[in-house]
């Protein structure tokens, strides 16, 4: 291994990450290396279960070559699908959508489902799973291009650009005249407040993320929580790592869906490790359309 | 029936109710009559299931004589306990504590339980049910007298006066060095924010009430909701009316507890229907110690 190109963090990041927080280096001095989910091929192994040539997905550093341990790495069995899918549809975001929707939301046919950040890696799948179940599904996103994707590519019944709506609660009332049974929460803050006003009795909110809040020093206040009582709402936070025992069940379900083209999946591809910082920073400003992927090397 | 003394509302109430919002009258003109849970004896009945002399509990007007219908009225079978208990321990607050703790909180022996408004009609019972189950229980209330009651009468492991604590989160950290597994929510607002910071992984919050928020025109914002994700917290709102099918099971459990003195129960008794408005207004300022009862007539 001659050199190992790496992306490192100059220092701890406060607030939104900026491109200037990162540095591209070829030294081997590992200082605050960011990590992410990636697909790798084994070059050398001292572990009996992993041999040269094996394909893996799991957490890797932002670098050309990584030293990894078996925990948090899955061997890739199905190679007749694009390998990049293991960073998304067939990896952590796919499992998140699957477990979050089927295990946390307790969905029933005919229910109404609202997904925020709906064109993202997780949201686009939740919407499609909900449609497969016979739910009425509405998504929101932050650009006309994304809203069009939701309606035309992912099969959502309706969608809106939250940036165009002065009154989020009114937008939800327009899309859900009979109220929301299930909310798949990806953003938090003002959106959650508007949703609470539009939830139905015995509604469920699966809290997957609150991306609007993560990088705020003071998080926005949510004011409509008394709705939880009158409407008997259940709010459940979840993290995908608690559901990895269901991964093979998930693959059995989703691989045929991909092959039969029952699921549409959109990636936003950045070419080259050097594009990593820009791609990450873009996430917080909604620049990506679909799952953000960075190509480090092609097969 | 010569006259029927009644408490009426002068107009719709905005913000906290004031005594001047009410009026005592002896006319039969029913204008905005407030309602509450009460115990009554049947004087006259046109319904085959109810005969003169029967004792009932359920929703009645604030008046000496009420016309009631069978829905929302239970016939009192056990008369060897104080009848006023049917407005509290054996009525709606008792069922609320029972269903909220056993059905909503999913409690396990050895878990830590925090109850706010803990000396109130519901809170005092939740704490005692949790102790019976082998949990570590801490309550908060708004006066030294109430805190003493929690520790010395209701058997809470610890208790604090939230008005004495500049930093609610620090108070909770002091009482729960290993974190909170279950929060029985009665108050909302700043307290919920402090609790979220101190919840344990897979913690549960049963939302019974948010009394600090009901009469605010603008509810306080809750800022720490991202904790829901990392800690996989479940928040469940509930209303006792959904659990009345368990009422006889509840009585089977609680009547022996009362007879064997396993449960302590404190009432704050106001004498006379005229004291109703003052007693109600006092609730919002925490003036009552224990379940607030108004004696309209004694047997």
Q: Does A106 touch chain B (CB under 8 A)?
A: no
Q: Per-residue pLDDT averaged across A47-55, rounded? A: 93
CA B29 to chain centre: 31
pLDDT for A272 beyond 70: yes
Q: Does B173 touch chain A (CB under 8 A)?
A: no
Q: Does A229 touch chain B (CB under 8 A)?
A: yes
Domain A6-76+267-295 has CATH 3.40.30.10: no
Among candidates B36, B75, B31, which has minimal Cα distance to B56?
A: B75
For residue B148, how many other CB atoms are within 10 A of its CB?
Answer: 14
Q: Does B231 touch chain A (CB under 8 A)?
A: yes
B104 → chain A, closest CA residue: A234
Q: Which residues 177-206 of chain A have a CB within 8 Å of chain B?
A: 188, 192
A212 → chain B, closest CA residue: B226
pLDDT at residue A16, as a whole number: 76
What are B201-246's pLDDT values in tens digits? 999 999 999 988 877 878 899 999 999 999 999 999 999 999 989 9
Q: Are A252 and A109 in contact (CB under 8 A)?
A: no
CA B92 to chain centre: 8
pLDDT at residue B246, as a whole number: 95
Q: Per-residue pLDDT averaged across A69-97, rounded? A: 92
Where are the strands (E) in B179-233, listed by range? 180-185, 199-207
Domain B92-241 has CATH 3.40.50.720: yes
Residues of B in contact with A207 (CB under 8 A): 225, 228-229
Q: Alpha-carbon distance A99 to A250, whole Å?
A: 9
**Band of pLDDT at residue A27, cut at 50, 70 and 90:** low
Q: What is the mean pLDDT of chain A?
A: 92
Better-predicted residue by pLDDT, B184 or A68: B184
Residue ranges per domain, chain A? 6-76+267-295, 92-241
Classify A240 as helix, strand or coil.
helix
Q: Where are the alpha helices (DSSP H) in chain B?
A: 92-98, 123-132, 144-152, 168-175, 190-198, 227-230, 247-259, 276-284
Task: Find the range with the poorest average confidence among A62-71, A85-94, B113-122, B200-209.
Answer: A62-71
The alpha-carbon gap from A86 to the nearest alpha carbon of chain B, in Å, equals: 23
Query: Rounded to 10 degrees, what is the CA torsion of B188, B190, B193, B195?
Result: -70
Backbone angles phi, psi at B178, to 5 degrees: -100, 10
Top residue of B103, B201, B202, B221 to mutate, by most chain A CBs within 10 Å, is: B221
A207: nearest CB among B219, B228, B238: B228
Q: Which tokens hold the place of B134?
A: 């082998």
Q: Does B58 touch chain A (CB under 8 A)?
A: no
pLDDT for A169 beyond 60: yes
What would the CATH number be for the domain defined by B6-76+266-295? 3.90.180.10
B223 → chain A, closest CA residue: A221
pLDDT for A286 beyond 90: no
Q: Are A126 and A184 in contact (CB under 8 A)?
A: yes
pLDDT for A185 beyond 90: yes
Q: Does A239 touch chain B (CB under 8 A)?
A: yes
What are A243-271's pLDDT values in tens digits? 989 999 999 999 999 999 999 999 999 99
pLDDT for A109 beyond 90: yes
Query: Exposed, middle or buried, A232 (CB in 10 Å: 0-12/13-18/19+)?
Result: buried
Classify B240 as helix, strand or coil.
helix
Q: Alpha-carbon distance A278 to A270, whole Å?
A: 9
Q: Which residues of chain B have pLDDT under 50?
A: 1
Q: Are A37 and A291 in contact (CB under 8 A)?
A: no
Q: Which tokens hold the place of B122?
A: 């519901």
Residues of A in contact with B234 (CB under 8 A): 234-237
Q: Are A111 and A181 in contact (CB under 8 A)?
A: yes
The alpha-carbon gap from B205 to the nearest alpha carbon of chain A, in Å, equals: 10
pLDDT at residue B279, as a whole number: 93
H or E element at residue A130:
helix A123-132
* Contact flag A219-B237 (C-beta cutoff 8 Å): no
For residue A3, how many other CB atoms are within 10 A of its CB?
Answer: 11
Q: What is the mean pLDDT of chain B?
A: 92
**Band of pLDDT at residue A145, cut at 50, 70 and 90:** very high
Among candidates B183, B132, B122, B190, which has minimal Cα distance to B156?
A: B132
């Amino acid at each position: 291994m001659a050199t190992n190109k790496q992306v490192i963090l100059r220092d701890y990041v406060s607030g939104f990450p900026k491109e200037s927080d990162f540095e591209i280096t070829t030294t081997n001095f590992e200082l605050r290396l960011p990590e992410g989910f990636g697909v790798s091929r084994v070059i050398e192994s001292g572990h009996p279960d992993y041999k040269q040539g094996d394909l893996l997905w799991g957490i890797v550093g932002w670098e050309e070559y990584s030293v990894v341990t078996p925990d948090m790495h899955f061997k890739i069995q199905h190679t007749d699908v694009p390998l990049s899918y293991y960073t998304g549809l067939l990896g952590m975001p796919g499992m998140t959508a699957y477990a979050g929707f089927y295990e946390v939301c307790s969905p029933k046919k005919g229910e109404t489902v609202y997904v925020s950040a709906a064109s993202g890696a997780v949201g686009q799948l939740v919407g499609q799973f909900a449609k497969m179940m016979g739910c009425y599904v509405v998504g929101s996103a932050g650009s006309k291009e994304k809203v069009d994707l939701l309606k035309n590519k992912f099969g959502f019944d309706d969608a809106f650009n939250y940036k165009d709506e002065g009154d989020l609660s009114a937008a939800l009332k327009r899309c859900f005249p009979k109220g929301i049974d299930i909310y798949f929460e990806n953003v938090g803050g003002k959106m959650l407040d508007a949703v609470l006003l539009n939830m139905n009795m015995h509604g469920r909110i699966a809290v997957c993320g609150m991306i609007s809040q993560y990088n705020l020093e003071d998080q926005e206040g949510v004011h409509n929580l008394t709705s939880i009582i009158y409407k008997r709402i259940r709010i459940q936070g979840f993290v995908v790592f608690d559901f990895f025992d269901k991964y093979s069940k998930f693959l059995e379900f989703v691989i045929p869906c991909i092959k039969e083209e029952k699921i549409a999946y959109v990636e936003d591809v950045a070419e080259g490790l050097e594009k990593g910082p820009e791609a990450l920073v873009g996430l917080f400003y909604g620049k990506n359309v679909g799952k953000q992927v960075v190509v480090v090397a092609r097969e």
